[in-house]
Structure 1
Amino acid sequence: MASNPVHLVKKPAVQKRLPEFFREDAMKEYFSSTSGVMEFGSMDAKRRRMIVSLLYNTGIRLSELLSLKRNSMDFHRRVLRVVGKGDKTREIPLLPSLCDEILLYLQSQDSLKCADTSDGSPLVQTSSGRALYPMFVERVIRKELGDVGGGIGGRKSPHVLRHTIATELLDHGTDLNSIKEMLGHSSLAATQVYTHNSIERLKKVYTNAHPRAKNGGKNGD
């Protein structure tokens, strides 16, 4: 046979799996139900809430959370310095409420006998004053989000929290370049996947822009 007819057959398109994310109202419920933890909760509860809060509010990767040091925080400027992939450093702006939460957590952590309070020590530590490790954080996320309103459905992981805040920021009008910088993506293509992620955003755009949607679905003016 002079030629191979198989090369004419096109491979079926492989559909990329879209990032999973939690519902915005579910995350609001979590933070509402744990709002008093930093002042009145146990040290373990404070640590769990701090882990979820950092991952959700900043969108950092699990590896980036594990590498955070006390001197990664700049409370005066309200920014978090993160060392990401390729040892690239970026700064993430922090809400005043998150800065207050981190300060409350550090006060409690520093009161522990075995706490490491040096500048280069882990920002969030285990009860023995050591750095967090991946399985520890994974367990925390499953426990914390599994307890909300009967449990948040779907896979629970640090990366899903990263997808969640990226999707929420996009839904609320944040431009892709800003989200790219916050997440530490090397290219805009990696961030653009979130534009396909939320049907709610598509519904809002459709409702606000479509001529018939503006007049209740009636034809004419």
Structure 2
Amino acid sequence: MDLRPPAPLLAPSLLSADFARLGEELRTIEAAGAQVVHVDVMDGRFVPNITIGLPVVESLRKATALPLDCHLMIVEPLRYAADFVKAGANWVSVHQEADPHLHRTLAAIRQAGGKAGVVLNPGTPVETLVDLVGDFDFVLLMSVNPGFGGQSFIPRVLDKVRRLDALRSERGVPFFIQVDGGVGSKNAADLIRAGADCLVAGNAVFKAEDPKAAVASLLSEMRSGRTA
């Protein structure tokens, strides 16, 4: 049984987009071939930054047919996770470090109709997920410390991807692996080769001189990593 999605997915992060032109930015990445929209939700408590909330997600849902991937960098995620699904999110991920009742939160996301994900900070081992395999649909590995865009990729996360891929194979459970932070054309193929299935890219797409060309380059690198 193949435990990985048939093709790798690119999820441009709106954190790096022009917030005054979100509709136009969405149309650009759609036309370029991106398959998912990554939405960073920050509360100024779990991370030292504040971004967007439910009303913006509702507006994004009206503006695109692409799956909305909401990454909740917030305290008390159980209070809000299902509401993000109701607002239009297809995927909702919560931090293992922020949630003492993670099993309950994942179940709430699924019950609301969304894909449930667990996020691990760079210093959190993948082994903390052993007893939750089967209760989540994907794992998001942070390859920077969360809170701000434009940070440099932490290379040792490649090993975490390999360990998580090994756990997936050992348990025979088809969850997918996502990586977020410092992702670009220089490391995209290596991440996919290591076992990642979905890459989040912010500055590499929206700060590029030609975002459409940047998406095409990333997708090409990702496909080469899968076929290597």
**Greater strand percent: which structure?**
2
Name which structure has the greater RCO, CA cutoff 8 Å, separation 6+. Answer: 1
Q: Same fold (TM over 0.5)?
A: no
**Greater helix percent: which structure?**
1
Q: What TM-score, normalized to structure 2?
A: 0.23
Q: What TM-score, normalized to structure 1?
A: 0.24
